[in-house]
Amino acid sequence: MTQQITTFEKMFHHVSNDGVYICEDTHTSYWPTFGGGFRQPDTFMEMAKTLIDDIHAFHKRGRNSEFQISDLTRSIESLHFYDSMVVIEKALVSSPELVFTGEAQF
């Protein structure tokens, strides 16, 4: 597991904007012989699940110090989970804006 996590941590910032980062063989996160297991901490899949929170950090409410906008929030456009593979699309991401169109009556 450590090689997948370490590679992501060291290499993702080298991926160009509008680039794609792919990690394969993620099924090994569930194999005890590879240090994995279902919901086992310190596996690539559990790390990838935390990226879901990272991409939603612009929408946080309140003062939760564990839920902060990070470099990953600003650089991960989307996450895709496939059998044995995680695909991360990189792009410059800015804070979403509330935009009204048409005729809204409140």
How far separated are the first and last CA of the chain, in Å rounded? 52
Q: Is residue 8 part of a domain?
A: yes
Q: Is residue 105 part of a domain?
A: no
Strand, coil or helix: 87: strand
Strand partners, 16: none
Strand partners, 90: 76
8 within 8 A of 21, measured Cβ to Cβ: yes
Full domain range(s) for residue 31: 2-90
CATH value at residue 47: 3.40.50.150
Q: How many domains does one find in the chain?
A: 1
Q: What is the pLDDT of residues 13-26, one digit of tens each?
A: 999 999 999 999 99
Q: Is residue 45 part of a domain?
A: yes
Q: Is residue 18 part of a domain?
A: yes
Q: Looking at residue 105, what is its pLDDT?
A: 63
Q: What is the pLDDT of residues 3-62, one digit of tens each?
A: 999 999 999 999 999 999 999 999 999 999 988 999 999 999 999 999 999 999 988 877
46 within 8 A of 29, measured Cβ to Cβ: yes
47 within 8 A of 5, measured Cβ to Cβ: yes
Q: Is residue 76 part of a domain?
A: yes
